[in-house]
């Protein structure tokens, strides 16, 4: 049966009340969202949360970027879909093989299949695939295939939006987890104001470095070998990344390096760390050009035969475990530096951090890796949600149950 060329109605053929209703809803929703963001920003500014206020400004910038991308996709949708390529080129690098595509197209439910065929025979099947476009596939008349169909561009449009939303939500969730974890540090901070703590850390008291609480935790046989040091630090991150001894030692080292003498009982290190977390959140909430480029590479990994589900979701897990182990190694090396300066310490041990302890002498490289992990996790969950919405749970993108389980559990 010959296919009919079905055209969608233009605005000339659409009731004015329908156009006005859609226009009003879009404007109303946009104004409400903009007003909510403004209220949140004003509230943070009034509470002197400068870093979080700047994070909200970054979110607004991301929304503006999404709007610009949306505009580009809308304007360039027809020109891009009008680019024709040969069928041999179009049949390369698919998420599925031809056989899998046929299997995915046929439904397990025979009744659903009959309804679908009936829908195709009626000549209206092109309606859904011509969403946001007018006309038909002109490349088919030339015996070719569209570079990217208009409906494919529409689906990509939705995915970019879902990815940005998931990234922001993932960052907010991580910030909430960080704040929850730091609540127990408040008790450690209050302990530094007690007489018992000041007596135990009497600045006139001499001790061997290895006999201090920090020394007993980090100055051991395993800390003398790089291999055993990394092994112990790798497993130690699962038992509590920062304990009370490390917190008190790092606090004392910070105060000795940056504050005047006598600030030990006045300075609130926990609040300082909380503000630092907000500063880091301001950096990771945005999507940089590098991350957009990485997202492009991630899209390529869905090619059939690459088995991306067996290795791609494990990359962020590997990175975050490596970063966790590295931070533990840095804390231990701070203890080793104390011992290198002398076996006897006066008062509490004073750690001296340095950029040389970090990879490439750049502490912010670790922040970039954390940013990358957050983005890749958001990408995995966003891609899973989007593909499930667009193509159902079992599709070319999720051919096996273990694929679904790995993507969700790793995210």
Q: Are 248 and 371 in contact (CB under 8 A)?
A: no
DSSP state of 312: T
CA atoms within 13 A on the CB side of 35: 6
* Predicted pLDDT of residue 112: 40
Q: Is the pTM of this model over 0.85?
A: no
Q: What is the pLDDT of residues 189-198, one digit of tens each?
A: 888 888 887 7
Q: Are 223 and 229 in contact (CB under 8 A)?
A: yes
Q: What is the pLDDT of residues 305-331, one digit of tens each?
A: 777 777 888 888 899 899 989 988 888
Q: What is the pLDDT of residues 217-241, one digit of tens each?
A: 877 788 888 888 898 888 888 877 7
* Predicted pLDDT of residue 103: 47
Q: Are 329 and 230 in contact (CB under 8 A)?
A: yes
How would you label 139-168 residue by residue, b for 16+ Cβ within 10 Å and e otherwise?
beeeebbbbbbbbebbbbbebbbbbbbbbb
Q: Is the pLDDT of residue 215 over 80?
A: no
Q: Are 310 and 82 in contact (CB under 8 A)?
A: no
In the predicted model, what is the mean pLDDT of residues 15-27? Answer: 84
214 vs 319: CA distance, rounded Å:
27
Q: Are 58 and 168 in contact (CB under 8 A)?
A: no
Q: Which of 381, 159, 173 is nearest to 285 (CA)?
A: 173
Q: What is the mean pLDDT of the chain?
A: 77
* Predicted pLDDT of residue 346: 66
Q: Are 367 and 375 in contact (CB under 8 A)?
A: no
Q: What is the pLDDT of residues 127-177, one digit of tens each?
A: 444 444 444 667 777 778 888 888 888 888 888 888 888 888 888 888 888
* Predicted pLDDT of residue 343: 64
403 vs 309: CA distance, rounded Å:
6
Q: Higher confidence at residue 372 or residue 9?
A: 372
In the predicted model, what is the mean pLDDT of residues 122-130? Answer: 40
223 vs 212: CA distance, rounded Å:
16
In the predicted model, what is the mean pLDDT of residues 269-273? Answer: 86
């Amino acid at each position: 049966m010959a296919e009919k060329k079905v055209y969608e109605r233009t605005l000339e053929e659409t009731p004015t009340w329908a156009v006005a209703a859609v226009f009003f809803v879009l404007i109303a929703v946009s104004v409400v969202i903009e007003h909510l963001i403004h209220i949140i920003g004003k509230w943070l500014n009034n509470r002197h949360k400068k870093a979080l206020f700047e994070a909200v400004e970054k979110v607004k910038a991301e929304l503006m970027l999404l709007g610009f991308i949306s505009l580009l996709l809308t304007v360039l949708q027809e020109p891009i879909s009008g680019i024709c390529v040969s069928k041999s080129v179009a049949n390369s690098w698919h998420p599925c093989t031809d056989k899998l595509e046929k299997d995915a197209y046929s439904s397990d439910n025979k009744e659903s299949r009959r309804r679908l065929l009936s829908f195709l025979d009626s000549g209206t099947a092109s309606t859904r695939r011509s969403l946001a476009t007018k006309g038909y596939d002109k490349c088919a008349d030339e015996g070719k295939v569209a570079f990217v169909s208009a409906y494919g561009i529409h689906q990509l449009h939705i995915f970019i939006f879902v990815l940005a939303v998931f990234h922001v939500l993932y960052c907010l969730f991580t910030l909430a987890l960080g704040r929850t974890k730091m609540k127990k540090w408040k008790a450690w901070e209050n302990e530094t104001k007690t007489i018992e703590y000041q007596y135990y850390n009497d600045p006139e008291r001499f001790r061997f470095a290895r006999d201090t609480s920090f020394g007993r935790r980090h100055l051991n046989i395993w800390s003398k070998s790089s291999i055993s040091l990394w092994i112990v630090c790798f497993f130690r991150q699962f038992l509590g990344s920062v304990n009370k001894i490390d917190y008190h030692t790092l606090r004392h080292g910070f105060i000795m390096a940056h504050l005047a003498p006598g600030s030990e009982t006045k300075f609130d290190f926990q609040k300082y760390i909380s503000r630092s977390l907000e500063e880091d959140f301001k950096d990771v909430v945005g999507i940089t050009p590098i991350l957009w480029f990485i997202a492009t590479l991630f899209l390529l990994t869905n090619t059939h035969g690459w088995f991306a589900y067996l290795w791609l979701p494990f990359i962020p897990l590997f990175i975050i475990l490596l970063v966790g182990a590295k931070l533990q190694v840095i804390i231990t090396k701070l203890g080793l530096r104390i011992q290198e300066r002398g076996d006897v310490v006066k008062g509490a041990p004073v750690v001296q951090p340095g950029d040389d302890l970090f990879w490439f002498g750049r502490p912010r490289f670790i922040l970039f890796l954390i940013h990358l992990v957050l983005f890749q996790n958001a990408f995995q969950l966003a891609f899973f949600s989007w593909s499930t919405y667009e193509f159902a749970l079992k599709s070319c993108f999720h051919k096996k149950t273990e694929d679904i389980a790995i993507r969700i559990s790793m995210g």
